[in-house]
Structure 1
Amino acid sequence: MAVPHMEARFPNDSIMAPPAYVRQVHAWAREVFTGEAAPQGQVRLRVWRQDHSCLRFGRSCIETPLRIGAQSYAHGLGTHANSDIEVDVPPGAQRLEAAIGIDNNPDTGGSRGSVEFVVEANGEEVVRSPVLRGGAAPVPIMVRIAPDMRSLRLKVTDGGDGAAFDQADWADAAFVMADGSRRYLDADQPDLFLAVAGPPLSFVLGGVPSEELLPAWKRTTETKPTAGGKLLITRWEQPGPGMVLTVEARIFDRYPAVEWVARFENRSPTTSPVLEQVRALNVRVQSGYVREPLILHHLTGDTCSATAFQPLDTPIVPGKPFMLTPTGGRPSSMTAFPFWNLQYRDSGVITAVGWTGQWQAAFDRSPAGPGTVGIGLEQLRTVLHAGEAIRTPRILIMPWKGSRADAQIRFRRLMFDHFAPRVGGKLPLLPVALQTFDRYNARPEWATESGQLVYVRTAADLGFDTVWLDAAWFPGGFPNGVGSWRTDETRFPRGLKPVSETVHAHRMRFVLWFEPERVAPGSDIAREHPEWVSGGANGGLFRLHDPEARRWLTDLLNRRIGEYGVDVYRNDFNIDPLQYWRAEDAPDRQGMTEIRYVEGLYALWDSLRAAHPDLLIDNCASGGRRLDLEMIMRSVPLWRSDTGCSPGHPEWNQMQAMALAQYLPLFAVGLWSSDPYERRSAAAAGVSLEAPYLDPGFSSSAWADAVGELKILRSYWYGDLHVLSGIGTDADDVAAWQLDRPDLGAGVLCAFRRPESKLSGIVVAPRGIRPSARYHVEFRGDGKPIKTIMTGKEMAEGLVLRLPKAPGSMLVYYSQAPAAPRDPTDRERRKERRKL
């Protein structure tokens, strides 16, 4: 059965970045990758040195308005000793004028700081100020432009007594043109969180760092159009022939984002020198003023506990580098999650890593203020044989400025538009599925053909759109049978086709569980192909890095998907692969097994999707321990955490929903209760319900109501998420979020009073509402629904949501109403007023 689809369209509204900012990010990408000079403001600047903070435009280097002595300025450059700024002279410039001095701000206090200003042209000083001290009045300077002056160097020195408080301003700095107009040095300058400092990646080859190697390598560039953007292809070729570095970077028409992946290829006839310290991302961030915090907003990985995907805010401080690394080779396992937001004041960069292995990110901040971010494999030190190539992790960055909340929504839209998987070219509608493996697998009659046929008919009667058969169909059962990917003939004598055909006859989808990368001892693969197992006949990790083994497994899975009528291929992965990878590495090939395995995984999944265009892949790894950018591009996590393997935990579900949805566009979760508070806590783009249909006293009406409500809520998850409360699990707190579909003019507010909360209600102000519009509003709490019509202005002023029960919940649906009909006599009254 074809997977049903859902549309998600996002307008060019205030959430989206201004077009000028998008262009700045695109220009940054072109400059760092292709070497194309970025269009700057009216004057081109290059910073050759700044010992403290960062060069700022129209404000001081500590982010305050420009002020020298008692004089304030709207234009100028804010710098700090010692600094050296090169300024290109625009054609037609007659002179450079500026007011110079120590910036007057709470830090300098009107008395601290001492600097000298120097202007050089053609290597000669043309201006040198006396030592200027804090609190002194601005000093005007002027440099006449001679015909041979192509650029000027604006320098600030520390005055001979150290650089403390030496915050210096080139205020009102401008070239005066022949027609008398002024070209301010700060006008229209790019103001990005990311610095321009060569390619945003690095490596060491044969002991020599890339910043020394790449300038001598031949660079070629090519630009190709892609859907919704452009692809920038850059190659650096080592003289020789030798190593070739190719970077494919994508920019997006509507988003200030850049995505890239790099490849190294040894084109020499001999083995390469050692390649190491490969950083797929290596950038400096403009966190200038060291007293302003640089905060990393990130999540834990899936811990299968109350802390699964818990939001954390970590300050990045000088002298204390901070590392993020997952556990055991699964990219979102336990200790790290490969999506985060690094923030400095009102700017930052959201980053996603695409590597389904042991990635590592390092964050640091210098005592001068700027920070650095590096991302690569935790362990990679290898030679490449002649003709051999490897790839790096995929990197996605989205710089932002303004509201962090808006930036997170913008990133979510980016993920929907360009990274969420398509099935048949469209976004898949995630299942609302009946899934009772955890509840009923211990019952012998459940995992049989007859038991599953009852299961299917029950799903249809309750309104489910999907039937989910988990790890209960192969000989040996779970976990002892993993590696035997055929039906257990004693339980399913006719195979699984009768089950899937019945599912399809009821117009539902069929989910089937596999765990092809883990091999149990005694299973078919362990007995018949121990050479394809890291661990051999004793079981272990299937060797996806072996091309022959991978081809065999691909063929097997393709046959099973077709033979069993599978609509959703569920790929679980309950094993930490890192120990197996590293055990196979030779001393001069550290990291190579991991690279080949991860490349093999992508090849396997891509082959399955190519062979079955309507197939949806469900990505599971002991829950949500394998969530990264590469996997999100190919699959959806229908079981976001194994916290869903047992009943309860609604507060955990609330936190997971708000935290994950800021980064991942689509996911689903398990649910064990039809209770409104619990089911609304678990509502997402998809839900799997462990309905107790075989238990005495089962209420089919209650569960049918739950299914119906979850299917309604599902469509709202294909839009914007606005977090309206804190994100945590405290039992004495409240939680609230808004799901807004700007393309539909509709949405829903979800509010929760937790079991120990003393609050009997909350006030929420929905976002994305048009003040002048009218809305149909429906309040659904624990009692009878209440319907009304409100203006957007009334809604934005705050909705009072009364929650008398603890725990309790309320949903507030809203949809834009047609304009109110006009009184037909209004027109006549207006005519009469005009006559008067």
Structure 2
Amino acid sequence: MADTPQNQAALALQMYLDTSASPLGSALQRAPMMNIGIDEGELATLPLVSEALTGSQRLRATHAQDLALTVDVEPDPARHALVWQMQMAQTGEQPGPRVHNFRPLHIALDGSLAPDLVIHTWRGGAQQSFFPPDAITPERHVLYPRTTAFYQDGTFTIGTHGGRSSDQYMPYMLITTADDSGGLWVALGWSGNWQARFVKPRGTSDLHLTIQIEPCDLRLPSGTTLQGPAMALGLYEGDAAVGYNALRSWLRSHMPALPSSDLSHFNTWTAMDANVDETRLLDAVEQVAGNGLHYFMLDAGWYPSPPNDFYSGVGNWRVDETKFPRGLEVVAERVRQRGMEMGLWFEPERAYHTTELATQHPEWLLRVPGREHALVNFALPDVRAYFRTFIADLVQRLGLRWLKWDFNIDPLPYWQQANDGGLAHLGHINGLWETFDWLRSTFPELTIENCASGGNRLDWALFSRAHVNFANDQYTNPDCIRRILGRMGTFLPTERLNMIYGPFQRREYDDAAWQVLEGSSFGVSEPIDNWTGQFRTSLRHHLALHRATDAYRSGHFYQLTPDTDDLCAWEGWQLHDPETGSGVLALWRSASPEEQVSLHVREIDETRSYRITDLYHQSGSQTVRGQQLIHGLTVGLARDAATLWTYHLVDGEENQ
């Protein structure tokens, strides 16, 4: 198709979205949905050329100093969503113009058409040891309610703390109408540092949202190509829970297919910390085998490092010959002989200052004075080539089927110390994405896990590149895990969240403790000397229940009880399969003084009957009308007890 000259209207959301899909659609003002400063001008003022591609549109612009910019826009009409991403390339022999104020998203909503809009955000994924945990706390804000901004702009800003995409706030947002009849969701696909600013400009009732990438004030060197953030925005009609599930469904549609549908695993971390060697691991394999777990995951400590100090060995990327005189091959082979697949942890983006990588390749590192760890600069092709060779050797030699990529350092201070206007920042993220893409295409049977001190890098650009994503480093307290996973499940695909559960403080687990894994994959990390006969029986029982409810994790998610600060309160989740109309209810009473709770179940046909089955007591089932599920199903439990119920549509049965 011939190129067609376009003006900046080609950057307007209305060109690609059906705004009638949401009550908020008509309030979207026509303006460029993204922009970037170029010298004294900006992208929106450059002549744009539009090129139709299969299922998408490409907008191209060229600056006089040989800077080529492309914006790929991909509508998703079925989900009323849109994705766009900009690429910059310096094609000339000299550095390009100054590139600055990188704003991959800007939207403005007319307050006269949609007043008092509600902003929904979530705190980030950092681990805490207290209840209620801050992690993934939902927040709601209304700027200058029921009035125009008066003395000054009304503002609210969220973003990262140390440069990992979800370390302070999750890179997902919802804006809803005041009557909760509809709205829009936003997902930021950027694995580095970002800031989102909500503004109600002085003298107006409008609401503006701008996302900015920092640091970014640079000149691209000759021959450099960089991808910017992948932005996504969707419209929906219904209450906020409908919006959360619209976001959840859209994220699911962009996740890579799993090499294996069974993600159950044992992880050595809580069970052994970094105190691993051949004898201990071979014994662990024998203890873990035969309980139905698919993967045996070796976490930190397999490389040269001091006992109980895995941090200072990060950068010694070879197998410790003292701990493993016959190499890791003997462990991997034993794992396979006992019916499991081998997995391995590593952390390529960080290096301790005395390790082999740091001393042999100091030019690969970004350093901050006074810090013992350096950031390994994935913007460098030599770094990416080194880790490709290293990973390929490990995967092939050990027959790995799971690779856990961790990142336990805040990168922002290192990017700031580089003082290069953001080249290291943007280049590092591009190199990270390229390596993940290479991993998936080169080793299609390898499950890739994304981790960053738990859930500190959960943007959708990595969700679309990793198969599973570690939820949070709080994996020993069931109350905190339950709250964190319940919050995450509202808007993130539950089946791709990973949790290793190992509350070694208690020797035996009860139903209420095991049941928290309904919000994630099934991971176990209990110390081996606690694997009693009773523990194994309980593990196998709950793993079977987890598999029996797998299908529901891939559907919709609803919180049935309020998010409260009270530890002694009921908590309930609903996981619903919209195709079959069936689902599961996971309930905990904790130590609540209330003996009963009334649940209002979502997406139920009030004219139909449903068979409810107690999975802990298969003999306990009843048939109820949908009307009762919608208007209040009464449930009673003993203190600190839990229950797991499934519901299925039935016909021709009388209520019991």
Deviations 1:598-618 (A, max 9, x none): 111111111111110121111
Q: Does 1:581 align with 2:415?
A: yes
| In 1: Cα distance, 2:523 partner to 2:575 partner | 20
CA contact (8 A) 2:302 2:320 kept: yes
- Displacement of 1:415 after TM fit? 1.5
1:662 is matched with which residue?
490
Q: Is the 8 A contact 2:271 2:528 kept in 1?
A: no
Q: Does 2:352 correspond to 1:527?
A: no
Indicate whether 1:460 and 2:285 are aligned: no
Structure 1 residues 268, 489: CA separation in 2 closer, same or farther (over 3 Å shift)?
Answer: closer
The code of the aligned residue for 2:520 comes to A
| Structure 1 residues 176-215: aligned runs within 5 Å | 192=25, 195-211=28-44, 213-214=45-46
Could you say which residue in structure 2 is the equivalent of 1:450?
A: 279
Distance 1:726 1:37, change over 3 A: closer
Give the direction of change, closer, same or farther, for the CA distance of 1:797–1:540 in structure 2 (3 Å limit): same
Q: Are the equivalent residues in 2 in contact too, given 1:685–1:718 (CA < 8 A)? A: no
Q: Indicate the residue corresponding to 2:313 in structure 1.
A: 481
Give the aligned partner of residue 310 of structure 1: 137
Aligned position for 1:77: none
Q: Indicate if the aligned counterparts of 1:206 and 1:274 stay in contact, CA closer than 8 A.
A: yes
Of residues 705-714 and 577-586 in structure 1, the stretch that sits farther from structure 2 once superposed is 705-714
Determine which of 582, 603, 608 is the counterpart of 1:768: 603
| Structure 1 residue aligned with 2:158 | 324
Aligned runs of 1:376-775 on 2, under 5 Å?
376-417=212-253, 419-423=254-258, 429=261, 431-441=263-273, 447-476=276-305, 478-535=310-367, 539-586=373-420, 590-644=421-475, 647-648=476-477, 650-665=478-493, 666-673=496-503, 674-695=509-530, 699=534, 700-755=536-591, 757-775=592-610
The CA distance in 1 between the partners of 2:102 and 2:284, in whole Å, is: 51
Q: Distance in 1 between matches of 2:359 and 2:124?
A: 35
Q: What residue in structure 2 maps to residue 812 of structure 1? A: 645
User: Distance between the aligned counterparts of 1:572 and 1:308, measured in 2?
Assistant: 19
Matches of 1:363 and 1:790, distance apart in 2? 46
Counterpart AA for 1:654: R
2:204 matched to 1:368? yes
Q: Is the 8 A contact 2:256 2:466 kept in 1?
A: yes
For the 8 Å contact 1:262–1:392, the answer to whether it is kept is yes
AA matched with 1:357: G
Instruction: Give, in whole Å, the separation in 2 of the partners of 1:207 and 1:663.
Output: 40
Distance 2:451 2:177 in 1: 34
The match for 1:3 is: none
User: What's the % identity of the aligned pairs?
Assistant: 23
Give the CA deviation at 1:488. 1.7
* Corresponding letter in the other structure for 2:241: A
Change (3 A) 1:523 1:618: same
The answer to whether the 8 Å contact 1:651/1:730 transfers is: no
| Cα distance in 2, alignment partners of residues 594 and 273 from structure 1 | 18
CA-CA distance at 1:691 after TM superposition: 2.6
The CA distance in 2 between the partners of 1:714 and 1:39, in whole Å, is: 33
Query: Residue 614 of structure 2 contacts residue 643 of structure 2 at CA under 8 Å; is this kept in 1?
Result: yes
1:691/1:703 contact within 8 Å kept: no
TM-score by length of 1: 0.70
| 409 and 265 in structure 1: CA distance in 2 versus 1, 3 angstrom threshold | same
Q: CA shift at 1:301, angstroms?
A: 0.8
Superimposed CA distance per residue, residues 154-191 of structure 1 (whole angstroms, 9 cap, x where no aligned partner): xxxxxxxxxxxxxxxxxxxxxxxxxxxxxxxxxx9996
8 Å CA contact 1:719–1:739 kept in 2: the answer is yes
Q: Superposition pairs for residues 144-159 of structure 1, below 5 Å?
A: none
Distance 1:36 1:259, change over 3 A: closer
Query: What CA distance in whole angstroms lies between the structure 2 residues aligned with 1:538 and 1:555?
Result: 26
Helix, strand or coil at the partner of 2:95: coil
Match for 2:485: what amino acid? A
SS at match of 1:483: coil
Q: In 2, distance between residues paired with 1:544 and 1:372?
A: 34
Q: Which amino acid aligns with 2:583?
A: G
CA contact (8 A) 2:12 2:30 kept: no
Change (3 A) 1:562 1:37: closer
* Aligned residues of 1:40 and 1:190 also touching (Cα < 8 A): no
Distance 2:650 2:51 in 1: 50
Q: Does 1 or 2 have the higher relative contact order (CA < 8 Å, sep 6+)?
A: 2
- Taking the aligned partners of 1:690 and 1:545, their CA distance within structure 2 comes to 35
Q: CA deviation at 1:323?
A: 1.3
Aligned partner letter, 1:279: R
Structure 2 residue matching 1:287: 3-state secondary structure: coil
Secondary structure at the counterpart of residue 480 of structure 1: helix
Tell me the SS of whatever aligns to 1:608. Answer: helix
Residue 338 in structure 1 maps to residue 171 in structure 2: yes
Contact 2:266 2:524 (8 Å CA) reproduced? yes
Q: 2:24 touches 2:182 (CA, 8 Å); kept in 1? A: no
Q: Look up the equivalent residue of 1:414 and give its one-letter code.
A: W
Give unpaired runs (5+ residues) of structure 1: 1-28, 42-56, 58-187, 822-836
1:779-822 per-position Cα deviation (integer Å, ceiling 9, x unaligned): 246x77512333434433432111122x221111122346569x
Matched to 1:731, the amino acid is: L
The secondary structure found in structure 2 opposite 1:704 is helix
CA contact (8 A) 2:364 2:376 kept: yes
Distance 1:785 1:457, change over 3 A: farther
Return closer, same or farther for 1:508/1:255 CA change in 2, 3 Å cut-off.
same
User: CA contact under 8 A between 2:265 and 2:524: conserved in structure 1?
Assistant: yes
CA change 1:452–1:743 in 2 (3 A) is farther
Q: Could you tell me how far apart the structure 2 residues matched to 1:260 and 1:696 are?
A: 50
Q: Secondary structure at the match of 2:134?
A: coil
Describe the shift of the 1:506–1:696 C-alpha distance in structure 2 as closer, same or farther (beyond 3 A).
closer
- 8 Å contact kept, 1:194–1:399: no
* Cα contact 1:636–1:667 (8 A) shared by 2: no
How far the C-alpha of 1:497 sits from its partner, in A, is 2.3
Aligned-pair Cα RMSD in Å: 2.9
Cα drift, residue 697 of structure 1:
5.4
Distance 1:189 1:662 in 2: 20
Deviation for aligned residue 1:312: 1.2
In structure 2, the partner of 1:80 is none
Return the alpha-carbon distance in structure 1 between the equivalents of residues 13 and 137 of structure 2.
Answer: 40
Which of 385-394 and 406-415 deviates more?
A: 385-394
2:85 aligned residue (243, 252, 261): 261
Normalized per residue, the structure richer in helix is 2
The one-letter code matched in structure 2 to 1:612 is F
- The alpha carbon displacement at 1:275 in A equals 1.6
SS in structure 2 of the partner of residue 473 of structure 1: coil
Q: Please tell me the residue identity of whatever aligns with 1:709.
A: L
1:371 Cα deviation after fit: 1.1
Q: Which runs of structure 2 are paired with 1:68-83 in the superposition (5 Å)?
A: none
Counting only pairs closer than 5 Å after superposition, residues 49-198 of structure 1 correspond to structure 2 as 192=25, 195-198=28-31
How many equivalent residue pairs? 621
Change (3 A) 1:692 1:539: closer
Tell me the SS of whatever aligns to 1:643: coil
Closer, same or farther: CA 270–307 of 1 in aligned 2, 3 Å: same
1:298 aligns with 2:121: yes
Partner of 2:49: 220
Instruction: State the TM-score, normalizing by the size of structure 2.
Output: 0.88
